[in-house]
Chains A and B, each alone.
Chain A
Amino acid sequence: MTGRDTVAIVGVGTTSFRELYQARDVQRSAYDLAAQATVAAIEDAGLEKDAIDGLIVARLGSYVRMADMLGLRRPKWCHLLEGAGRMSAVAVQIAAAAIEAGHAETIALIYGNNGRSAGARYGGDGGPSPTGVYDTAFGMTSPGAYVALMYERYREMYGVPDLALAPLAINNRKNAMLNDGAVMQTPLTEEMYGQSRYIAEPLRLYDYCLINDGAVALIVTTTKRAKAMGRPFATISSTAAIGDLTNFYTSPDFFYGSCQAVASKVYSDAGIKRSDVKAAQIYDNFTPTILFSLEGFGFCPQGESWKWVDGGRIELGGELPLNTSGGHTSESYMQGWAMHAEAVRQLRGEAGARQVPDCDVVQYICASPIVASHILRRG
């Protein structure tokens, strides 16, 4: 999609998800949170505000409001994306493509989410498909339930035991406890996991992403400019995406075919092998999505990922540290955006207690109706 390492991420900004979560009764505006994150990203990049000549806004309803708050009257590139998890990777791809094509040079990517304040439940309503409302007549709703359908089928196909997802939830929690900005700061044991209530059985409470308030901003520019700025940065070595678009979120092959298609490009375009990846940020709206991603991208054979993630391989210090800032189940539900920020921080050596040693290559994966992946590299 773009040239190898020609586009860079030079600034990241995140609100403290923990602080926002702890102040429970405060009603927040997603735009206010987004403004804070964007100012933080601009400061992180060491840029002047007026250097920004492009704006991509996700989940927030209006790029106009964001532009007005930031005093960016005439961005050369403006784009608005829906509030879906698949869009964080797409936002980066659009920014990279726009920069490569010369439409703009320095684009701010902005995401704000006041789901907790707004009482979001991520269930109970339909969508554009006629089956959205139809399904609710049976009491079927929420993305978690549609993912649960995939996981139950996977479980029965491969003889997966109960509690197989626990290592994923526990790894997320361990990493969150090393991240001051993460919502969850207390330990999660297998016993706690197993005793937690079912939401859409077989999925339990700790298999589900959080609902919380927060914002993330990224500043993307040319690698040429990034080098001139003189601060640590990350480059986009490769990025690829393909849809898996059927009426239901429930993919007939658990996104496997689409993951394989993206995997066939993303490693070769970056000039790396899978074993060169030092850490992976894998979208986890629900824990099974991690399993589908690992198998789809060839980290382990189909039907085996539940064994592969057990025993420490995915933890800090293991063969492939996953979701190093705590994932969507323990850091925050920022629909992939906080994972992008974490990828950059790991590559810049700023991850503190959760730093993966010599972290020069990080992969981001999102297995969803748009399967997308980037290989990000230390600049």
Chain B
Amino acid sequence: MTMFDTPFAEGCAAGELRLQKCGQCGTYRFPASPICPSCLSSEGAWVAASGRGRVWSWIRMHQRYFKDLPRETPYNLIMVELAEGPRMISALADEKIMPKVGDPVTVTFREVGGEILPYFALDTEGTAA
């Protein structure tokens, strides 16, 4: 089982970013795990996340590592720090934008290579995550 056939992927298909939340202590976690990394509880559920976060950092990938990737080099990549705490890798939906560390972002789903993936867009209204 991969991330592409879990509740995470089901959420993406429904246009919703989902995270596991510990039923015991409320900690959110990513990637998926059967136990909470804070309290080790196995009580948890997938819940809708806010979809908001900040750009922890970003890069532009110039090296072509993947023959079949449907993105042209150089393409942007970001590490998002979600409002709920966890970090994840993603990309800005708009390739022309140069982000800055700390920029607030909101999730926006895109279909790429047959998968619906959570991309992110810069918040233009400046709403803090």
> What is the interface of chain A, defined by CB distance below 8 A to chain B?
121, 123-124, 129-131, 133-142, 145, 148-150, 152-153, 156-157, 197-203, 247-248, 250, 252
B32 within 8 A of A: yes
Q: How far is the CA of A198 from the CA of B59 in the complex (A)?
A: 10
Neighbouring A residues of B69 by C-beta, 8 Å = 139
The verdict on A130 contacting B2 (CB below 8 Å), with A149-B57, A156-B101 known, is yes
Summed over the interface, the residue pairs from A and B with CB atoms below 8 Å come to a total of: 102
Check B113 against A198 for contact (C-beta < 8 Å).
no
Apart from A138-B90, A140-B89, A142-B65: 17 A-B pairs, beta carbons within 8 A: A130-B2, A130-B32, A133-B3, A136-B66, A139-B65, A140-B77, A145-B59, A153-B56, A156-B57, A156-B101, A157-B101, A199-B63, A200-B62, A200-B63, A201-B59, A250-B57, A252-B87
Known: A152-B57, A152-B101. A138 touches B31 (CB 8 A): no
Q: How far is the CB of A123 from chain B (nearest CB, A)?
A: 4
- Closest Cβ–Cβ distance, residue B2 to chain A (whole Å): 6
In the bound complex, what is the Cα–Cα distance between A136 and B89 (angstroms)?
A: 9
User: Which single member of A150, A201, A252 contacts B62 (CB below 8 Å)?
Assistant: A201
Partner pick for A123 among B65, B71, B90, B117, CB 8 A cutoff = B65
- Binary A-proximity of B89-121 (CB < 8 A = 1, otherwise 0): 111000000001110000000001101010000
In the complex, A89 Cα to B117 Cα: how many Å?
39
CB-CB nearest in chain A for B67: A124
Alpha-carbon distance A149/B77, docked complex (angstroms): 9
Does more than half of chain A's interface fall in helix, strand or loop, or is it mixed?
A: mixed
Most B-side CB within 10 Å, residue of A129, A130, A142: A130
Flag if A156 contacts B100 (CB, 8 Å).
Answer: yes
Contact with A along B52-91 (1 / 0, CB 8 A): 0000111111110110010100110101000000011111
B57 to A150, Cβ gap below 8 A? yes
Contact of A138 among B74, B101, B102, B117 (CB under 8 A): B117
Q: How many residues of B contact A (CB 8 A)?
A: 34
Note all chain B residues with C-beta closer than 8 A to A121.
65
Are A138's CB and B63's CB within 8 A? no
The answer to whether B101 touches A131, judged by C-beta atoms less than 8 angstroms apart, is no
* Whole-angstrom CA separation of A112 from B63 in the bound complex: 27
Docked CA distance A149–B2 (Å): 25
- Given A134-B31, A152-B101: A139 and B61 within 8 A (CB)? yes
Are A197 and B112 in touch, CB under 8 angstroms? no
Residue of A nearest to B2 (CB): A133
Q: Which residues of B contact A133 (CB under 8 A)?
A: 2-3
- What separation, in Å, do the CA atoms of A156 and B79 have in the docked complex? 14
The closest CB in chain B to the CB of A202 belongs to: B59
Q: Which of B31, B74, B75, B102 contacts A131 (CB 8 A)?
A: B31
